[in-house]
């Protein structure tokens, strides 16, 4: 069709829209160019959405997905052909290899750093250098609900013929109510007769209802393959204040990081008060089994995890992080010990070994006061996901946890003195990338 | 003052940019200044006048709008790309 046959106004409008379409193509091309060249380090990029709606899981990662992660810190992201944030792995376990699956949330998925810099990859390299014939496979997927880890284990972990699973969850994820919230992924819902059943309320979401039709598939294809479409989609979900860049849009977490710390004289008391307040709901849940519904969900989750692992002949170690570490002489110290005793009773009773992860990490880095520097990047250092120092420290902690779990037969004789790669040997106290 | 008498510094971490990327980045930044200088020559005005029309207006409007929408995610205090 030629614009010259139309009235001048319609013709001008058509040409204007054509120019606009041209702009879309040029900007889309520009964004792609930035992603595939080193320009991604400094120029604006659009964060990838590495998954799609899934009727059983809520939101499942897409095998082969790739992109540049931009939240907190920039890193290249590449999912392998199994949909894991890991290097390529054979589905069939190599003979003589001890396979360990790392389950967890965004902290373990570690999108903020390169795959080689994740604590799982570092620990695998160090242990292999020590002669252990093992694979540490990262099965983690972002999301705060522990139940996602169980689903992930069943869908992605067991087909890999794992020998051991190490799960990692925040202590708060058990008290936040996420185990009972099926709006985004499967969860335990109250059936009314005092029983819990797995609920799939998320299937009512618009994206789920259209997951299998042409519109849904086209939408997913567009946001996964066009950075421009993805940008427009992500922008459309933001509140107006964020779009306009108003100061009120600044997140609470950012404000808290930028806030002044309490004076040194007050620091211990504030830390003690904070730890006491944070421990309270955890103690209610694990020791007193209150609130009832929350406890029923937590117990059901542990039952299901223990049963599932037993059925598949896999041992489970569960590392619970962020159980507050009170300063010395704080009365909450004994409360914490009580909590751990209660938790250990519940986990061990279901055949799961409990690890007090924050305590192990604190021991590695020289005390609880050192833990904040393992998190966050640049001006936001002190809070957030693990930075490079954090991954090195977690790798050391993971190795400490793993050594008694991995049978001696997987370490070849005479290789225990093998040296670690220089980059991994950097003491955790050394400066990380700003 | 940055000196490289002792050779290139060791990489900060596994994901750090290799030296050639740093050099290319610096050269690229100077190239941008050169392009900016070239675009300010009087001859460019003539080109723009010839291209003026609904298509170019639609194109420039679209580009301007999309540039505004590009997310600001770089927390580093780097002055050149504060879109």
The model's pLDDT over A361-397, given as tens digits with 9 standing for 90+, comes to 999 999 998 999 999 988 788 999 999 999 999 999 9
B3 DSSP 8-state letter: -
CA angle A432, A326, A400 (to 5 degrees): 55
Residue A253's Cβ-side half-sphere holds a number of Cα atoms within 13 Å equal to 10
Q: What's the confidence (pLDDT) of residue A267?
A: 80
Binding-face residues of B in 8-47 toward A, CB within 8 A: 11-17, 21, 24-25, 28
A65 close to A50: Cβ distance less than 8 angstroms: yes
Burial code (b: 16+ CB inside 10 Å, e: under 16) for A136-149 equals bbbbbbbbbbbbbb
Q: What's the confidence (pLDDT) of residue B79?
A: 44
A410 close to A128: Cβ distance less than 8 angstroms: no
Q: What's the confidence (pLDDT) of residue A264?
A: 66
Q: What's the confidence (pLDDT) of residue B82?
A: 39
List phi, psi (to 5°) of A132: -75, 130
Return the beta strands (E) in chain B as ranges: none
Range B26-40 average pLDDT:
91
Asked if the Cβ–Cβ distance from A47 to B15 is below 8 Å, we say no
pLDDT of residue B51 exceeding 70, the answer is yes
Tell me the shortest Cα–Cα distance from A38 to chain B, in angstroms.
7
For A50, residues 6+ apart whose C-beta sits below 8 A from its C-beta are A61, A62, A65, A66, A67, A77, A79, A224
CB of B79 within 8 Å of a chain A CB? The answer is: no
pTM: 0.85
Q: What's the confidence (pLDDT) of residue A422?
A: 39
Asked if the Cβ–Cβ distance from B57 to A114 is below 8 Å, we say no
Q: How confident is the model at residue B74 (pLDDT cuts 50, 70, 90)?
A: low
Binding-face residues of A in 217-256 toward B, CB within 8 A: 228, 231-232, 234-235, 245
Asked if the Cβ–Cβ distance from A388 to B53 is below 8 Å, we say no
User: Which residues of chain A lie closer than 8 angstroms to B12, CB-CB?
Assistant: 431-433
List phi, psi (to 5°) of A59: -145, 120
A187-193 long-range contacts (CB < 8 A, ≥24 apart) are A187/A145, A187/A147, A187/A297, A188/A147, A188/A296, A188/A297, A188/A300, A188/A301, A190/A293
Q: Is the peptide bond before A291 cis (omega within 30 degrees of 0)?
A: yes
Residue A24's Cβ-side half-sphere holds a number of Cα atoms within 13 Å equal to 12
Instruction: Compute the mean pLDDT over every residue in chain B, rounded to the nearest whole number.
Output: 78
Classify domain A80-204+266-424 at the CATH superfamily level: SGNH hydrolase (3.40.50.1110)
CB of A41 within 8 Å of a chain B CB? The answer is: yes
Q: What's the confidence (pLDDT) of residue B7?
A: 58
A336 close to A279: Cβ distance less than 8 angstroms: yes
Nearest chain B Cα to A117, which residue?
A: B14
Q: What's the confidence (pLDDT) of residue A189?
A: 93
Q: What's the confidence (pLDDT) of residue A415?
A: 43
> How far, in Å, CA of B15 to CA of A133, rounded?
26
Q: What's the confidence (pLDDT) of residue A218?
A: 95
Output the CA torsion A171→A142→A119→A149 (10° steps).
60
A61-70 long-range contacts (CB < 8 A, ≥24 apart) are A61/A85, A61/A141, A62/A224, A65/A224, A67/A35, A68/A35, A68/A40, A69/A111, A69/A112, A70/A45, A70/A46, A70/B71, A70/B73, A70/B74
Q: What's the confidence (pLDDT) of residue A417?
A: 40
Q: How confident is the model at residue B22 (pLDDT cuts 50, 70, 90)?
A: confident
Pairing of strands A196-199, A187-190: antiparallel
**Can you list the residues of chain A whose pLDDT is less than 70?**
1-4, 245-265, 408-434
A360 close to A341: Cβ distance less than 8 angstroms: no
User: Which residues of chain A lie closer than 8 angstroms to B83, CB-CB?
Assistant: 44
CATH 3.40.50.1110 region(s) of chain A?
80-204+266-424
A46 close to A231: Cβ distance less than 8 angstroms: yes
Q: Give the torsion sign (CA, A189, A190, A191, A197).
A: positive
Between residues B72 and A315, the one the model is more confident about? A315
> How far, in Å, CA of B14 to CA of A7, rounded?
61
Asked if the Cβ–Cβ distance from A38 to B58 is below 8 Å, we say no
B58 close to A23: Cβ distance less than 8 angstroms: yes
User: Which residues of chain B lie closer than 8 angstroms to A21, CB-CB?
Assistant: 58, 62
Between residues B19 and A287, the one the model is more confident about? A287
> How far, in Å, CA of A393 to CA of A361, rounded?
7
Q: Which of B15, B28, B74 to mutate to test the interface with A (most CBs of A within 10 A)?
A: B15
Asked if the Cβ–Cβ distance from A75 to B15 is below 8 Å, we say yes
Between residues A3 and B24, the one the model is more confident about? B24
Q: Which of B22, B52, B55 to mutate to test the interface with A (most CBs of A within 10 A)?
A: B55
Asked if the Cβ–Cβ distance from A231 to B69 is below 8 Å, we say yes
């Amino acid at each position: 069709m030629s614009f010259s046959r139309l009235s001048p106004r319609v013709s001008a409008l058509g040409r204007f829209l054509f120019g606009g379409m041209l702009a879309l193509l040029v900007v889309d091309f520009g964004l792609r160019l930035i992603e595939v060249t080193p320009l991604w380090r400094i120029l604006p990029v659009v964060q990838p959405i590495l998954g799609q709606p899934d009727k059983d899981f809520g939101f499942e990662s897409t095998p082969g997905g790739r992109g540049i992660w931009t939240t907190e810190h920039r890193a290249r992201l590449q999912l392998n052909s199994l949909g894991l944030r890991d290097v390529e792995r054979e589905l069939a376990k190599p003979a003589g290899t001890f396979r360990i699956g790392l389950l967890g949330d965004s902290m373990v998925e570690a999108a903020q750093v390169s795959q080689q810099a994740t604590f799982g990859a570092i620990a695998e390299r160090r242990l292999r250098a020590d002669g252990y014939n093992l694979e540490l496979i990262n099965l983690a997927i972002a999301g705060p609900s522990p139940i996602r880890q169980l689903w992930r284990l069943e869908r992605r972990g067991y087909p890999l013929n794992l020998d051991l699973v190490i799960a990692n969850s925040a202590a708060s994820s058990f008290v936040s109510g996420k185990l009972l919230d099926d709006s985004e992924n499967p969860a335990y819902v109250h059936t009314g007769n005092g029983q819990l059943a797995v609920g799939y309320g998320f299937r009512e979401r618009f994206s789920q209802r259209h997951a299998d039709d042409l519109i849904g598939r086209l939408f997913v294809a567009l946001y996964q393959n066009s950075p421009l479409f993805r940008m427009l989609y992500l922008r459309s979900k933001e509140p107006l204040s964020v779009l306009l860049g108003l100061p009120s849009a600044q997140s609470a977490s950012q404000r808290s990081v930028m806030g002044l710390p309490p004076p040194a004289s007050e620091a211990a008391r504030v830390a003690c008060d904070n730890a006491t307040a944070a421990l309270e709901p955890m103690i209610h849940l694990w020791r007193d089994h209150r609130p009832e519904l929350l406890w029923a969900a937590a117990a059901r989750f542990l039952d299901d995890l223990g049963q599932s692992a037993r059925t598949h002949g896999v041992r489970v170690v569960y590392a619970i992080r962020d159980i507050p570490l009170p300063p010395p002489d704080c009365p909450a110290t004994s409360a914490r010990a009580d909590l751990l005793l209660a938790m250990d009773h519940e986990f061990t009773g279901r055949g799961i070994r409990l690890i007090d992860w924050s305590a192990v990490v604190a021991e590695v880095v020289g005390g609880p006061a050192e833990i904040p520097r393992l998190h966050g990047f640049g001006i936001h250092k002190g809070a957030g996901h693990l930075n490079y120092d954090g991954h090195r420290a977690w790798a050391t902690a993971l190795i400490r946890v793993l050594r008694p779990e991995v049978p001696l037969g997987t370490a070849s004789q005479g290789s225990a003195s093998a040296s670690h790669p220089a980059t991994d040997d950097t003491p955790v106290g050394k400066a990380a990338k700003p | 003052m940055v000196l490289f008498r002792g050779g290139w510094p060791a990489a900060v971490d596994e994901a750090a940019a290799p030296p050639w990327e740093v050099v290319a980045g610096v050269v690229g930044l100077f190239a941008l200044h050169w392009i900016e200088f070239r675009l300010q020559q009087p001859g460019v005005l003539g080109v723009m006048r010839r291209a003026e029309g609904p298509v170019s207006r639609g194109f420039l409007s679209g580009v301007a709008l999309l540039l505004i929408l590009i997310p600001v995610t770089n927390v580093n205090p780097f002055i050149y790309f504060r879109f």
